């Protein structure tokens, strides 16, 4: 007799996993959450203070960092990587993240693995101040190998209509502030996995900094002209995104100390400097563009995190120069 279990899907294990994560998931909920745990969907009342709120969404994942974590048996930090990838994209648009849902695909359902992953996501959501409203764990026998998994999420943010940070205010003379990243975050792992020798797993799997709460404080302090979450494409591929035509960012790469993990990666694979900056964050995980007159106020608002001026905006063809 053919059953779902004999076909590779264990519904009982799925039910047990859901029961194990309920407390940590609901711990991220505020009184604004509508609906109970385990329903088909959950809702969120719009917080007070918005006259014409705009809802913004982002979707992302941790990519092949999941494979490095699986091989090392260290998945506890992946939730912070996942939440950072999603909510920091929202923050770069000027939105305040409020909710997230996750999606875990597995080859074979391992209750301990799923519990560890969701627990990590829940802790990260708590750190970011967002509600983990729900999620999905999907078992894919015959499609994904046992032991393999993929992790992704979608996040919701709110911003007052007209208050979005689009980059249209960026102009010649503005200053670029870099927010330090002590580690690799979630980008470039396909290159890392191709190296003949790679840095140790503990270094590679350090959890990502979640910048959204830091950026929110900055948005409360000054008018921000532009922002960029430094992900795939590195500084040149992301800092260009908020630049209007006729403006160019000049970034002084000697303004900050590049974490040693990037030197190890470059040496192990004989990776060229330009390629390193195109693939990795190289020690700057988020960039903010402000008026020169607002620089001191901005740095004061960012005082809880290492932040420093790393460049300026000049007139010229739209692009980014690394010097």
Contact in structure between 149 and 107 (CB atoms under 8 Å): yes
Contact in structure between 279 and 230 (CB atoms under 8 Å): no
- State the burial class of residue 243 (Cβ atoms within 10 Å of its Cβ: 0-12, 13-18, 19+): buried
Sign of CA dihedral 49, 87, 245, 288: positive
Distance CA 31, CA 127 (A): 17
What number does CATH give the domain 11-160? 3.30.1330.10
**How large is the average pLDDT for residues 254-281?**
96
pTM for the whole structure: 0.93
**How large is the average pLDDT for residues 18-40?**
80
Q: Name the token pair of 163.
A: 């208050």
* pLDDT confidence tier of residue 130, bands split at 50, 70 and 90: very high
**How large is the average pLDDT for residues 96-102?**
96
Residue 4 confidence (pLDDT): 65
CA 240 to chain centre: 18
Residue 220 confidence (pLDDT): 93
In the chain, domain spans:
11-160, 175-322
Distance CA 73, CA 265 (A): 21
Q: How far apart are the first and last CA of the chain?
A: 68
Does domain 175-322 sit in CATH 3.40.50.720?
no
Residue 42 confidence (pLDDT): 84
Contact in structure between 87 and 96 (CB atoms under 8 Å): no
Sign of CA dihedral 70, 73, 75, 81: negative
């Amino acid at each position: 007799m053919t059953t779902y279990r004999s076909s590779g899907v264990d519904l009982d294990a799925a039910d047990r996993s859901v029961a194990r994560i309920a407390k940590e998931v609901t711990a991220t909920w505020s009184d604004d959450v509508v609906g109970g745990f385990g329903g088909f969907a959950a809702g969120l009342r719009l917080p007070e203070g918005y006259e014409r709120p705009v809802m913004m969404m982002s979707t992302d994942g941790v990519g092949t960092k999941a494979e490095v974590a699986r091989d090392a048996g260290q998945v506890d930090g992946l939730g912070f990587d996942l939440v950072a990838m999603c909510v920091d994209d929202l923050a770069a648009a000027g939105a305040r993240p409020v909710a997230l849902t996750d999606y875990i695909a597995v080859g074979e359902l391992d209750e301990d693995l799923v519990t560890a992953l969701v627990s990590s996501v829940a802790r990260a959501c708590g750190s970011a101040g967002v509600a983990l409203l729900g999620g999905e764990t999907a078992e894919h026998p015959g499609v994904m190998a046992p032991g393999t998994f993929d992790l992704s999420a979608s996040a919701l943010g709110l911003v007052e209509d007209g208050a979005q940070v689009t980059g249209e205010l960026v102009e010649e003379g503005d200053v670029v502030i870099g927010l330090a990243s002590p580690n690799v975050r979630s980008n470039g792992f396909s290159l890392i996995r191709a190296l003949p020798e790679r840095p140790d797993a503990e270094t590679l799997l350090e959890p990502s900094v979640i910048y959204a709460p830091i950026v929110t404080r900055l948005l409360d302090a000054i008018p921000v002209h532009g922002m960029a979450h430094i992900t795939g494409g590195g500084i040149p591929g992301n800092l260009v995104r908020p630049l209007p035509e006729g403006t160019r960012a000049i970034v002084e790469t000697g303004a900050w100390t590049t974490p040693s993990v990037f030197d190890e990666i470059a040496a192990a694979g004989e990776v060229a400097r330009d390629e390193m900056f195109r693939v990795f964050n190289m020690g700057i995980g988020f960039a903010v563009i402000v008026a020169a007159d607002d620089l001191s106020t901005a740095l004061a608002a960012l005082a809880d995190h290492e932040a420093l001026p790393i460049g300026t905006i000049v007139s010229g063809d739209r692009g980014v120069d690394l010097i």
